Structures are given as C-alpha cells and as structure tokens.
Amino acid sequence: MGTEFGELEQTDVAVIGAGPAGAVAAALLARAGRSVLVLERQHFPRFSIGESLLPQSMAYLEEAGMLQAVVEAGFQYKNGASFVHGEKAASYDFRDKHSEGWGTTYQVERAVFDQLLIRRAADQGVRVRFGHTVRSMRTGDEPVLEVEDEKGNAYRVAARFVLDASGFGRVLPRMLGLETPSRMPARAALFSHVQDALPAGSTDRDKICVAVHPERRDVWYWMIPLAGGRTSVGCVAEADFLDVPEARREAKLRELIRAEPTIGRLLGDAPFLMPVNRIAGYSANVERLHGPGFALLGNAGEFLDPVFSSGVTIALRSAHLAAQTLLRQLGGERVDWAADYDAPLRKGIDTFRAFVERWYTGELQDIIFYAQQTPKIRRMISAILAGYAWDETNPYVADPVRRLTALHEVCSGAPA
C-alpha cells in the first residue's frame, strides 16, 4: 500500500530498540519461527552504562542462542560482589546461593556486549535496522509504527504486536502517557572508565566492589573491573550532591574517588579513559507494562536503581517472559498480559525494590556487613544479589519487606 509514508511493511513482531532486552526477545521469537523486525535509532557499537551482569541473566542468554558467543568474547569473569564501608567489609560469592542456576557471569563493556547480542539475533533470522527511529505508534489489535531513517525518509510498519525495548528512550510510555512518578528520589551518577594498572592480588577482579561513602551512607561507588586492565568507576548520590558544571565533573569524580579509602587506594590516580559522564533522574515507573498490541520490556518499563546491578537481568527476564507470552498469543491462545506478564515480572522487580529501598535507609547495609549472619541466610541474600529475585522458594523473594525488617532487627541488635 503506497501512502505519504511509503510502503506499509508487515511483520509478526516489531521491536523498538536493539539493547539487551530487544535483542534477546527478538532472538527468542525468531527461533520460534516468527518474523521479527528490530528498529534501532543508533549505530552499534555504542556506549551504554550497565556493565555488571548478574548470573541469573545467563539462562536467558543461553535460551536465546547467545551464550557461546558471550563466553568466547573474553569478558571479565565475575563470581560475586564485595561491599566496603570504612573498616567494614563483606564479600558474597554467587556460587554459594539458595537458588539453583548459574553462579557466575561477566563484567562487560556494553558497547561490545550489546553489539554481540544483536548480531547473534540477526544470525538467527531477525531483521535489524540501525539508524531508524520510531516516531509514533497506532495501538490496537493491528499496531502500526511510524519510522524515520537518517535521511528523513518516513515509512510505516504493521505488526501483529510491538515490543518496546527502547530503554531510557521510553518511547511508548511517553507517547501513550503511561509514565507514573518513581518512588525513588532523583539520584544521579558520575562515572567513567580508568586505566587501572592494578597489581595482581591487590583486588579480586572477579567481583565488583560497592563502596559506601565514608560520611554519607546514601552515597556509594561502584568499581567494576573489565577485561584488558580497564575499570569502570562511578559514584551515585542524590542529584544535588553531584550537580556540577560539565567542566568540573572530572575533578569532582576524582575528589570523590580519593575520599573513599578502598577505591581511592586502588584507583586514586588512575587516568580517565573517557570524559566523565553524568546521568540523572533515571528511575522510572509505569502504570502498566502492556496495552493493546504492545508490551514494555527492560528500562522502557521500570528502572529502579543501579546499586544491585539488576537492570540487564530485569531486561532479559522481561524479554523472556514477553516472548513466551507472545508466542502463545501468536499461536492462537488467549493470553492475559496482566496476569501472564505484568504481575510475574513485577514480583522480581518488587524484590529488588525492597532491597534497594533498604540499601538507602542503611538497613540493608547493616544486614550485608553483619558478621554473624547464618550461612543459610547468607545464601538467601546471595541468591538475590545474583539476580534470582523471582525464586519464591527463597523467603526473601516470597515476602521481602517483612523478612528484611525482621532480619534487620537481628543484625542491628534491636529487639525482635
């Protein structure tokens, strides 16, 4: 059909965005024989933040036919997380955890990782267009997207279903007014990569390090060793605390790194390998994760906070669950997106939310640094830090708020 937008193309599924959520959903659908078109406004490789994966994500990469390529890519191996606050230190090994499944994963440069995933999706039959921006969508049983390429040519795509995996672009939530205020205060992050030159044995490269600011418990740092002697380092705080003019960002991050004893000792003078970036107000919420003819994946839906590296895991979990639900629908089954997709996905998001909220009040920090934790409870906490936030055999998933409150009373010496 010729229109002012040119030809109307047809596909089973159109995916907005070629990040991890889009790539994995697209691959899962293509593997099941569906025609899939991914529209991505940027060109890859492109920088993205979010470099520390959680072991739970490995199962989804495996199912999407991407695991071997990830394993062979030479990323920094990861088996846990360590936490420091002044003299206090705690280390969690993700192989020692309550839930079944992978206990190891990788710390990745996202430019390389994301390109690899979308290439593997393309190898499995997904059509991918870079430099194509989705401008609008008509929702309904037969959704239609309006797309524009870099030369300004507009065209339309008719799909049986649309998956919005547009990350912080949040294409459909913005367009359809689905955004709701986040319960998290507006926080910001200052971050960069450094040339680390860390002597062997000076730190455990197989774990990320999360450090609490010496004076402010609500301010924290990440140190994520990457392959090739590079380390990602960043600091997260309420937005005002990191509100510096662009020209002062590098000095501010340097000053913050030097103020924290562990990261300061390891990286205090390490040269920055890229301009110091600032990202703010990233927490986002939506009233629902689906609607007529579409579902929201990954960051296009909810984004909580980076402290437990849960972003990519939630993105891949959402991709997997949406692909399963959609395959049933395309196969002629009647599905209930609220019950089959929204509610089960939110279960794990809510587990992470309970952990994130208590991190910032300091309660979770008391729990993490509590030296007398029983091995059984340590394994339950370890499982969630490893991303197994949907495993309801774990009491801290089944009832996170009540369990964490009770555990904090024990760890802080308060009466039970």
Binding site for ligand FAD (CB under 6 A): 16-22, 39-42, 48-53, 133-134, 165-169, 171, 189, 279, 282, 298-300, 303, 306, 309, 311-313, 315
C-alpha count within 13 angstroms, C-beta hemisphere, residue 365: 21
**Smaller CB separation from ligand FAD, 81 or 411:** 81
Cβ at position 211, least distance to ligand FAD in Å: 14
**Smaller CB separation from ligand FAD, 310 or 382:** 310
Cβ at position 55, least distance to ligand FAD in Å: 12
**Smaller CB separation from ligand FAD, 65 or 86:** 65
Peptide bond into 45 cis (omega under 30): yes
Cβ at position 199, least distance to ligand FAD in Å: 25
Residue 410 has which token pair?
Answer: 């024990």
Distance between CA atoms of residues 392 and 353, nearest Å: 16
Cβ at position 398, least distance to ligand FAD in Å: 24
**343-361 helix and 375-385 helix, angle to the nearest 10 degrees:** 110
Residues present in the chain in total = 416
Distance between CA atoms of residues 299 and 140, nearest Å: 22
Cβ at position 198, least distance to ligand FAD in Å: 19
**Smaller CB separation from ligand FAD, 143 or 169:** 169
Cβ at position 415, least distance to ligand FAD in Å: 37
Distance between CA atoms of residues 143 and 100, nearest Å: 39
Q: How far from the centroid of its chain's Cα atoms is residue 348's Cα?
A: 13
Cβ at position 213, least distance to ligand FAD in Å: 16
DSSP code at position 199? P
**Smaller CB separation from ligand FAD, 387 or 400:** 387
Cβ at position 87, least distance to ligand FAD in Å: 26
Distance between CA atoms of residues 318 and 299, nearest Å: 10
- Helix/strand/coil (H/E/C) assignment for every residue in 164-193: ECCHHHCHHHHHCCCEECCCCCCEEEEEEE
**Smaller CB separation from ligand FAD, 162 or 407:** 162
Buried b (16+ CB within 10 A) or exposed e, 203-223: bebebbbbbbbeeeebbbbbb
Residue 358 has which token pair?
Answer: 């208590």
Tokens 């190898």 identify what position?
Answer: 123
Cβ at position 107, least distance to ligand FAD in Å: 8
**Smaller CB separation from ligand FAD, 241 or 370:** 241
Buried b (16+ CB within 10 A) or exposed e, 135-171: eebeeeeebbbebbeeeeeebbbebbbbbbbbbbbbb
Distance between CA atoms of residues 355 and 228, nearest Å: 32
**Smaller CB separation from ligand FAD, 157 or 354:** 157
**Smaller CB separation from ligand FAD, 16 or 383:** 16
Tokens 């507009």 identify what position?
Answer: 154
**Smaller CB separation from ligand FAD, 284 or 397:** 284
Cβ at position 205, least distance to ligand FAD in Å: 15
* Other beta carbons within 10 Å of 324: 17
Give the residue from 238, 189, 183 showing the smallest Cα distance to 210: 189
**Smaller CB separation from ligand FAD, 318 or 365:** 318
Measured CA distances, 233 to 129, 132, 163, 211, 290 (Å): 32, 32, 32, 11, 35
Cβ at position 376, least distance to ligand FAD in Å: 27
